[in-house]
Structure 1
């Protein structure tokens, strides 16, 4: 395993770390006055000497739990709350995102990486030269791992924000996950498995073409491959290795998304379908055909399945009395949807991150789908990962990895 220690393309900002007070800390020397330019979406000072958040009294007013909302229904009620989120008719300044706008406060477009008062950018991590396709934070580790189509995995120190090393993996990274101390990396025709505690490195062969999706469940590692198969391995503690367990065949085209919920595995494919697999028998028990394009992401929340597609929809599925999954609500977007990621805030209010191919990530309350905020990027966000303490990470098509934090007193926890 060859490592280029330190990296050569890091921004000087990374030395401040993920938890720098300058990038979102709550130091006692900060004034209580709210920034007027921030309220109008025009503040470009970094850091700004004034607050970029609503006063506590107004924030509490709009964050009260909705008594009509529950986990069992009211999908898509679209109740608008004060303080949320649309960028308005001006839109975000594309030159600001590119770092080339010379108008400053005089620009008629927004100078912000986000709108709404829910999240704050802590720090950008620079180093990848192509789209970031995977981000993960292994259990018990103080290192963040990111994979890219530039054929490298970068390791970031969570305390300093510096790149601790860049590792060549011999092919484009299609996906990345972690389970316990293990990091799994999908590359063409193989899966790289690293044990971050024991410095063990394995290569699992068997996939044909790119590995686009990885998930762990029921004691097995599952890989969605370019040829439409889902390969499964079981971990052997005796030999500290992974043994082939099964090959799940059914999809006609590449498997690009997977999630495990309860005793089922859900797989989304370029063939426009979602297949439901029984984890005990490893047999397909249902094929869902309601999407009309690639099923880019699947997510389990409570007893619901959420799926998104390039057909510009997010669908909510529930198990009916017949035992089959059926669509209970369809949320329509104006653009194709690439990634779904869920979190719960401190009030147990679920929030979903929805990345679209208009270079924007939308934040929605569930189940109402009321918009809570937006995050803007130079190019499509292909990877979103939640971390501890209200942190989350977005990987962009430019290769930039951004670290974000919720700025309210509600500290979210990850939803699987």
Structure 2
């Protein structure tokens, strides 16, 4: 048997033979043809030589043919070498391409493994997402159930509070009637009694002693019994009833508020220059208000704080910062006594602070949207208006809502006067509400969306500012509610104020303490002041604000005016 290495050598030799045969096949074919031609030429040459040895030119031709064939053989060998080089280059490129293909296949397998891993992770995340989505759906259903339960509880609580308030009012009325009955009995007892006066003591003091009585006293020389002064006399009864009514009103919040708010002998001075300009807040300022003493000023802005400032000798000094609101402040007011401050907020609530405490004492919640206005209706009552189209009356002693009035329009601002609340709305109407019946008793049409309301110190004039760049002044003493209009118009029927433009839906305008002037801030940064008597623009204070003015406030002393804008700036104006 042949050994394996011999068989391997034989196979390799056959393979080389085939390879070499394939390479030199063309050369062999050409060489074979050359040999055939050479043999043919030799035969022809031999025949020619044998037949005709005298023809030398045929020999030359044969030599030429042989040289051409040799040249062709050389060319073919050169072409074979070129093709071999090209073949080696192609083999090298093929090897490189194979290596790159192997690397690409490895990368493809790695990417496939990564894809499988990512698909597994996505499947796990999809399972977690479905679980959390189901959990969220359950939580949302539970939240809706709790919200419905909270609404029911809130309605029950409000109903219980209303019942408690009605019971308390009934109890107070019974006590009041009992006091009136007792007082009436005392008056009747006093009316039946008679008063005896000694003649000698009454002669020197009484101016109503007649000459006849004096003659009788001198002649008789004894004490005379004068006609008794009956307590049932109409003048005495009316005086006692007046005192009784005044005594009862003395316990009323409204009377105390009137005594505290209504100043006497006020005289407002028109400011002419800025005494101080400062960056009062970290963000825009929405509200500003002087206290009844004119020595304290409050500002509130979108930075969620109320800043208290002491105003003295023409300068503002920071006194305290009141915190507690979750969002920006929209409205500020001091209580009639000047010891507390009330603020409305974007966080759907109203907050009450004591001036000596930076933490709110009372937080009034119940509105479903931002509270745009909060006013004192007395020492222990507050009225709030909101963007949720409702007006609420609150009892501060119980921190509870006692009345809710639903309105058909966004409430932008409100003021209080005795037993009435006056509110301004976005539907271009001012509404007058009776707090005793919670009903609207009158509607006053205006020419645009109401941005603010202000009432004079004597509660006789009402000022409204509207988005149509118009200020209207109402006389509340007349049924017709005559009004003056202050806005820029080409026609002479309107008072002109060139350049005045209401800057926002919450721009605040004010009446001076003496009711002689109106002040409002414009979108161009100027403070405009009109004369109520003449209807002309009294002055314009420009140059200190670079942003639209949000609100202005006039001190009750009539000495200072403060304007605030949406770029954190507060300016103190005066005529000194």
TM-score range, shorter chain: 0.5 to 0.7
2:374 equivalent among 204, 210, 214: 214
Structure-2 separation of matches of 1:141 and 1:349: 17
For 1:167-224, what per-residue CA distance to the aligned partner results, in whole angstroms no more than 9, with x for missing partners? 4422111111110311111112111110114666221111222111122225521111
The equivalent residue for 2:365 is 205
Summarize the alignment of residues 12-411 of structure 1 with structure 2, pairs less than 5 Å apart. 118-138=271-291, 143-158=296-311, 161-168=316-323, 169-179=325-335, 180=337, 181-187=339-345, 188-197=347-356, 201-218=361-378, 220-236=381-397, 241-253=398-410, 255-291=411-447, 293-301=448-456, 303-318=460-475, 323=479, 325-333=480-488, 335-337=500-502, 338-344=507-513, 350-376=516-542, 377-387=545-555, 389=557, 390-407=559-576
How far, CA to CA, are the matches of 2:575 and 2:282 in structure 1?
27
Larger radius of gyration: 2
Shift of the 388–306 alpha-carbon distance from structure 1 to 2, 3 Å rule, reads: closer
Write the distance in 2 (CA, Å) between the matches of 1:328 and 1:155.
35
Q: Which runs of 5 or more structure 2 residues have no equivalent in the other structure? A: 1-268, 489-498
> Number of matched residues?
281
* Residues 285-314 of structure 1: CA deviation (Å, up to 9, x unaligned): 1222332x2101223346333322011222
* Larger RCO of the pair (alpha carbons < 8 Å, separation 6+): 1
The residue matched to 1:385 in structure 2 has which SS?
strand
Q: CA deviation at 1:388?
A: 5.0
Deviation sequence 1:123-166 (CA, Å, 0-9, x none): 12324132211223445696532110122222334457443444
Superposition TM-score, scaled by structure 2 size: 0.45
Question: Gaps spanning 5+ residues in structure 1: where?
Answer: 1-115, 408-416
Q: Alignment partner of 1:311: what SS?
A: coil
Residues 406 and 247 (structure 1), Cα distance of their counterparts in 2 relative to 1, 3 Å cut: farther
After TM superposition, give the deviation of residue 326 of structure 1 in Å.
4.2
CA offset digits 1:318-374 (Å, max 9, x no partner): 4687x4x44543332354433321114xxx571110223232221111132222111
Q: TM-score, normalised by structure 1?
A: 0.61
**Pair 328,128 (structure 1): closer, same or farther in 2 beyond 3 Å:** closer
| In 2: Cα distance, 1:251 partner to 1:388 partner | 35
Contact 1:309 1:336 in 2 (8 A): no
Task: List structure 1 runs of 4+ shifted beyond 6 angstroms.
Answer: none
- Structure 1 or 2: more helix by fraction: 2
Residue pair 1:144, 1:155 contacting (<8 A) in 2 also: yes
- 1:343–1:350 CA contact under 8 A, matched in 2: yes
Change (3 A) 1:401 1:320: closer
Contact preservation (8 Å) 1:131, 1:399: yes
Whether the aligned pair in 2 keeps the contact of 1:350 and 1:366 (CA below 8 Å) is yes
Structure ranking higher in strand proportion:
1
- What CA RMSD, in Å, does the superposition of the two structures yield over aligned residues? 2.8
Contact 2:271 2:561 in 1 (8 A): no
Change (3 A) 1:141 1:360: closer
The whole-number CA distance in structure 1 between the counterparts of 2:463 and 2:432 is 13
Distance 1:163 1:320 in 2: 40
